[in-house]
């Protein structure tokens, strides 16, 4: 649905997007993460045909960016970083204006459909300027969907929302995913990206990593299993160190932290070995690295390289 090849954007001397190559499948929820100034919004603007690339190519819904911009704009919906609503116009009139610009056939029907879907129908005659942040964000999401786009670009969809409003927006995105829409999300909320996205790209002007959240964890961190013991003794550690598949083992507050390649296969062996050695195992669990760990490691190492350069 989205393909980019060496997509590059320069603003004078500033390199905003550097040779970005990626592909997003139809129906996929794709997370786009990176620090401020990493080129996330610029990439969205490139892919929504708002600005032209300096070099490289991109296609969205089969249309070439820079050559078929009008077609692209008809097939994509965008939630901009700021909701960008006409404060003096009613919610209904805001949507009707955009529906007409998108050449929606049944303007009234579509406006009603999305106002109802997002719980704003009863307040349709009120000016958008008096809406809460959550309501404004919902109205902006409705605006992005009025023309039933194949691809939806969401730039920070839950930023500056309270937890309840953020949850509502996330649930709505999950609903859109179920409908099979392709969704491209820029976010700083790593937990949100972890929960919503099928795959994630981490960028800092250039692409640093791209994979599923779990694969990114595996790429950067070995899998780690924690064995909670009644009392950890040095001989238990020595015993585990004799096992060839154990990559490392350390003790921490009566817990043995063991690095393994394949916990599903080797956990039973370790448990048997510890029990034979006299250990009382209370609990076994995998130490899950968060997406935040992955992100900070990727972006941190990139920053380190930049500083060295």
Partner 1 sequence: MNKTWIIVRKDWAEVFKNRFVLFTVAFLPLILTALPLIILYATRSTSDLEGFSSADMPAGFAALCNEMSGGECVQYFIVSQFMLLFMLIPMAIPVTIASYSIVGEKTTRTLEPVLATPVTTFELLAGKALAAAIPAVVVTWLGFAVFAVGTRVLSLSPNVTARLLDPLWLMAIFIVGPLLAVAAVSVTVMVSSRANDPRVAEQLSMLVIMPLLAAFFGQITGLFFINQTLILWMAVGLVVVDSGLLALATHIFQRETILTRWK
Residues that bind partner 1 (CB under 8 A): 11, 45, 48, 50-52, 70, 73-74, 76, 78, 80, 82-89, 93, 97-98, 100-103, 140, 143
Q: What's the min distance (Å) between Cβ of 118 and partner 1?
A: 16
Short-list 175, 191, 168, CA closest to 288: 191
The nearer residue to partner 1, 37 or 300, going by C-beta atoms, is 37
Contact 282, 228 (CB under 8 A): yes
Angle at 180 between CA 58 and CA 107, to 5 degrees: 85
Consecutive H or E run containing 207: strand 206-211
The nearer residue to partner 1, 98 or 227, going by C-beta atoms, is 98
Task: Give strand pairing partners of 184.
Answer: 30, 153
Q: What's the min distance (Å) between Cβ of 176 and partner 1?
A: 18
Q: What's the min distance (Å) between Cβ of 132 and partner 1?
A: 16
Contact 308, 302 (CB under 8 A): no
The nearer residue to partner 1, 124 or 199, going by C-beta atoms, is 124
Short-list 119, 2, 132, 136, CA closest to 59: 2
Contact 73, 150 (CB under 8 A): no
Q: What's the min distance (Å) between Cβ of 215 and partner 1?
A: 32
Counting Cα atoms < 13 Å in the Cβ hemisphere of 70 gives 2
Q: What's the min distance (Å) between Cβ of 240 and partner 1?
A: 57
The nearer residue to partner 1, 66 or 263, going by C-beta atoms, is 66
The nearer residue to partner 1, 80 or 204, going by C-beta atoms, is 80
Task: Give the neighbor-by-neighbor strand order of the sheet with 14-24.
Answer: 14-24, 2-11, 55-60, 63-64
Helices (H), the chain: 40-47, 69-75, 91-101, 107-117, 133-145, 163-178, 190-196, 213-220, 234-241, 263-276, 291-308
The nearer residue to partner 1, 52 or 219, going by C-beta atoms, is 52
Q: What's the min distance (Å) between Cβ of 74 and partner 1?
A: 5
The nearer residue to partner 1, 74 or 218, going by C-beta atoms, is 74
Contact 46, 203 (CB under 8 A): no
Consecutive H or E run containing 88: none
Q: What's the min distance (Å) between Cβ of 243 and partner 1?
A: 58
Consecutive H or E run containing 292: helix 291-308
Q: What's the min distance (Å) between Cβ of 93 and partner 1?
A: 7
The nearer residue to partner 1, 108 or 280, going by C-beta atoms, is 108
């Amino acid at each position: 649905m989205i393909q980019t090849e060496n997509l590059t954007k320069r603003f004078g001397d500033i390199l905003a997007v550097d040779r970005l190559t990626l592909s997003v499948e139809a129906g996929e929820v794709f997370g786009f993460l990176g620090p401020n100034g990493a080129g996330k919004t610029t990439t969205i603007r490139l892919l929504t045909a708002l600005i032209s690339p300096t070099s490289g190519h991109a296609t969205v819904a089969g249309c070439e960016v820079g050559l078929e911009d009008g077609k692209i704009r008809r097939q994509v919906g965008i939630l901009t970083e700021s909701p960008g609503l006409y404060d003096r116009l009613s919610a209904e009139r805001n949507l009707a204006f955009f529906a007409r610009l998108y050449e929606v056939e049944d303007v009234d029907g579509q406006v009603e459909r999305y106002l109802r879907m997002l719980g704003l129908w009863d307040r349709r005659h009120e000016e958008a300027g008096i809406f809460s942040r959550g309501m404004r964000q919902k109205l902006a999401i409705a605006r992005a969907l009025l023309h039933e786009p194949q691809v939806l670009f969401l730039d920070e969809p839950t930023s500056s929302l309270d937890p309840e409003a953020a949850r509502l927006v996330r649930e709505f995105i999950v609903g859109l995913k179920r409908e099979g829409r392709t969704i491209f999300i820029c976010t700083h909320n790593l937990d949100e990206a972890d929960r919503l996205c099928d795959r994630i790209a981490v960028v800092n002007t250039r692409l640093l990593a791209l994979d599923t959240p779990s694969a990114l964890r595996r790429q950067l961190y070995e899998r780690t299993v924690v064995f909670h013991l009644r009392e950890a003794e040095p001989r238990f550690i020595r015993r585990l160190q004799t096992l060839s598949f154990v990559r490392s083992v350390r003790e921490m507050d009566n817990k043995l932290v063991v690095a393994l390649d394949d916990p599903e296969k080797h956990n039973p062996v370790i448990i048997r070995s510890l029990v034979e050695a006299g250990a009382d195992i209370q609990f076994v669990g995998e130490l899950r690295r968060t997406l935040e760990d992955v992100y900070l490691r990727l972006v941190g190492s990139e920053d380190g390289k930049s500083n060295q350069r």
